[in-house]
Copies of this chain bind each other. A is one copy, B any other.
C-alpha cells in the first residue's frame, strides 16, 4: 500500500486522479496506491473535488499532507511558482514526489529541487518530473527504434507544439499569462514538453540555441473590467544543435490557428526517420531507409500492438488510447521505480536540464537571437 496525497485539483489534478484510480487494473504494479487526500485552498472546492475525483479526504493546506503518516507520496499539480517549496519540503519529510512540469519557474529553483532530490535519493526517497508525453506508446516506440539503431546517426530534429487558444484577443489574463505564476508562456508550458520529448527520443542533449519569442497580444481582459499586461511569450521559436551533431528546430505557440494540441516531432537519421503528431497520438510514422527505394515510404504504425510500449496492458490492436493514459503509464513506471529502489525517469536532474534550455532560449531571445550555449 502506498498512500498518495495530491496538491491541486484543476486540469492536472483531474487527469492525475484518473491515472491513480486506473493504474492497478491494467498494470502489475508492485504496490497498491491509495488515494488518501487531496489539498486545495478553498474548503468547499477541495471537498467537492475529493468527492468527485475519489480522494478519501481533503486538506486545505498542502503542509498537512506532509504530516500524515498514511501518505507516502506527494503529487504536485499546482502552478510552477509553488513547485520548489512543496517538492523540497515533501522530499525532506521523506515523501516521494511526482511533480508537474516544467520543474520550476527558474533555473535557481530547479537547481535547489534537483539537489533536494539527490539528497532524498540517498535515503531511498524518489522524485520524478511529469513529462507525460514520454509515455505515449508511439513516442516510446520512437525511442526504442532510435535506441536499436534503426535511425542511424541523427541529422535533424523538427519539433513543434502548436495550440491556438490565445488567438482570440478577448481570452482573459489567466495565471498562465503572468510571469510571476507561470515563469514563461508557451515556452515553459509546451516548449518544455518538446524539448524533453526530443531529447528523450534521440538520447541527445541540446548544446546551444538561437531564439526568437513574441507576444502578439500585449494586453488582455483582467477579469475586473479592465485590461492587464501579458507578461509571458505567446510563441517561442529556436534553432539548436545537439550533442550528436544534429540540427534542430523547435516552435511552441498558442497562436497556430486550427491546431489544438499538435505536439509534433520528426527525426531524420542516416538510416531512417520517425514522425509523430499528438493529434493522432496512436500513430508513429516510420521510414526505414535500408529497404529498397522502390518499396520505401513512411509507414503508419498504429502503436496498439501487444509488443508496443505500454499498449499490451490495455486493449486489442486498433483499440485506441487517449491523453490520460500517458499519466497512467507514468505512474506505473514511478511505482515500479520506487519498489525497485531505483530513480525514476525523467528525474529532477532531467527537469533541471530542460530548465537550462528554457533559460538559454530566453537569454538568446532577449539578446536578439544570438547563439547561447546551454550550460
Q: Is the CB of A371 within 8 A of B369?
A: yes
Copies in the complex: 4
- Chain B residues in 8 Å Cβ range of A300: 297-300
Chain B residues whose CB sits within 8 angstroms of the CB of A220 once the complex forms:
none
Contact A320–B322 (Cβ < 8 Å): yes
Q: Is A257 a contact of B238 with CB atoms below 8 Å?
A: no
Contacts of A294 in B (CB 8 A): 141, 301, 305, 307-308
- Kindly name the residue among A15, A211, A278, A370 whose own CB sees the greatest number of chain B CB atoms within 10 A: A370
A269 touches B257 (CB 8 A): yes
Q: How far is the CB of A250 from chain B (nearest CB, A)?
A: 9
Which one of A155-163, A191-199, A351-359 is at the B interface? A155-163
* Chain B contacts for A319, CB-based, 8 A: 261, 322-323
Q: Are B25 and A320 in contact (CB under 8 A)?
A: no
Which residues of chain B are near A286, meaning CB under 8 Å?
A: 295, 297
| CB neighbours of A212 from chain B (8 A) | 210, 239, 241, 247
Q: Which of B24, B214, B297, B325 contacts A322 (CB 8 A)?
A: B325
Chain A, residues 266-287, CB within 8 Å of chain B (1/0): the string is: 1011111100001111110011
Q: Mark A105-122, 1 if CB is under 8 A from B, else 0.
A: 000000000000000000
Give every chain B residue within 8 A of A325 (Cβ-Cβ): 322
Residues of B within 8 A of A78 (CB): none
Measured CB to CB, the closest approach of chain B to A373, in angstroms, equals 10
Choose among A52, A307, A323 the residue with the greatest number of B CB atoms under 10 Å from its CB.
A323
A268 surroundings in chain B (CB, below 8 A): 164, 253, 255-259
Given known contacts A239-B239, A297-B258, is B370 in contact with A167 (CB within 8 Å)?
A: no
| A83: min CB distance to chain B, Å | 21
Stretch from A69-77, A222-230, A310-318 forming part of the interface with B: A310-318
Q: Which of B21, B269, B324, B368 contacts A371 (CB 8 A)?
A: B368
User: CB-defined interface of A1-41 with B at 8 Å, one 1/0 digit per residue?
Assistant: 00000000001001101100110110000000000000000
Docked complex Cα distance between A208 and B262 (Å): 27
Q: Return the chain B residue nearest A320 by Cβ.
A: B322
Query: In the docked arrangement, what's the CA distance between A269 and B272, Å?
Result: 27
A257: chain B residues within 8 A (beta carbon)? 155, 268-273, 287, 289
A293 at the binding interface (Cβ < 8 Å): yes
In the assembled complex, the Cα of A22 lies from the Cα of B52 at a distance in Å of: 10
A321 CB–B CB distance under 8 Å: yes
A258 touches B272 (CB 8 A): yes
Contact B315 A15 (CB under 8 A): yes
Q: Say yes or no for A203: interface residue by CB 8 A criterion.
A: no
| Chain B neighbourhood of A315, CB < 8 A | 11, 15, 323-324
A249 in contact with B247 (CB, 8 Å): no
Q: Given contacts A25-B14, A239-B239, A315-B323, are A258 and B296 in contact (CB under 8 A)? A: yes
Residues of A within 8 A of B (CB): 11, 14-15, 17-18, 21-22, 24-25, 52-54, 141, 145, 155-156, 158, 160, 163-165, 167, 210-212, 214, 216, 235, 237-239, 241, 245, 247, 249, 251, 253, 255-262, 266, 268-273, 278-283, 286-289, 292-302, 304-308, 314-325, 368-371
Q: A280-B280, A294-B307 are in contact. List 11 more A-B contacts (CB 8 A).
A: A141-B294, A214-B247, A239-B369, A258-B289, A259-B318, A260-B318, A286-B297, A288-B295, A295-B301, A300-B300, A315-B323
